[in-house]
């Protein structure tokens, strides 16, 4: 079964430190945690300064409970599938990633990972499923830029990150 600690270094490698790019819709962000996400875990009064000083424990709590556990990724048999699903959740939100993968799987699209979604993931041809998720993620980021060309400055980085996730049996 997949393990969260195997994905953690990948996400941290791509996220870096604190940024507050006015064109980034996430706003103030540190290690991939947006200010809105930080506040959803630590209260609406949480400040950008607190986000700048996020502890490793706070980061891990958000990663595990807000993303990994929403995917119930401990129950996904293939680490590569878990990695791409949870990374998509990290980049685009859990609801978005879950619904997109549910569409690929042909199960009920409700944004909640339950028994049917997990079963469909684990019985699928793992390489084919990984490739379908990868293609859908690329299509997803390209659609973001089509809808909002101001986001084109991020497309190369988004695609590099998606392409850095590789499939392993």
Residue 76 has pLDDT above 80, yes or no: yes
Cβ atoms of residues 19 and 52 within 8 Å = no
Q: What is the pLDDT of residues 105-121, one digit of tens each?
A: 999 999 999 999 999 99
Give the residue from 161, 134, 121, 127 showing the smallest Cα distance to 1: 121
Distance CA 80, CA 139 (A): 19
Residue 25 has pLDDT above 80, yes or no: no
CATH superfamily placement of domain 4-164: Chitosanase, subunit A, domain 1 (1.20.141.10)
B/e letters for 19-41, b = 16+ CB within 10 Å, e = fewer, are eeeeeeeeebbbbbbbbebbeee
Residue 57 has pLDDT above 80, yes or no: yes
Helix or strand (DSSP H, E) at 91: helix 79-92
Residue 164 has pLDDT above 90, yes or no: yes
Cβ atoms of residues 97 and 85 within 8 Å = yes
Residue 48 has pLDDT above 90, yes or no: yes
Each domain of the chain, given as residue ranges in start order, spans 4-164
Cβ atoms of residues 99 and 115 within 8 Å = no
Distance CA 96, CA 112 (A): 10
Output the average pLDDT for the chain.
95
């Amino acid at each position: 079964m997949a393990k969260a600690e195997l994905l953690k270094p990948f996400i941290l490698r791509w996220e870096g430190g604190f940024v507050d790019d006015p064109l980034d819709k996430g706003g103030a962000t540190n290690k991939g945690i947006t200010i809105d996400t930080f506040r959803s875990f630590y209260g609406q009064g949480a400040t950008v300064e607190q986000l700048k000083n996020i502890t490793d424990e706070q980061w891990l709590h958000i990663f595990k409970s807000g993303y990994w556990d929403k995917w119930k990724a401990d129950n996904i048999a293939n680490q590569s599938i878990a990695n791409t699903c949870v990374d998509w959740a990290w980049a685009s939100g859990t609801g978005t990633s879950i619904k997109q993968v549910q569409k690929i799987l042909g199960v009920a699209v409700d944004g909640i990972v339950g028994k049917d979604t997990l079963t469909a993931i684990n019985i699928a041809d793992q390489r084919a499923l990984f490739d379908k998720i990868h293609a859908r993620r690329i299509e997803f980021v390209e659609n973001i830029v089509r809808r909002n060309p101001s986001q084109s400055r991020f497309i190369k980085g988004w695609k590099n990150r998606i392409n850095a996730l590789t499939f392993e049996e």
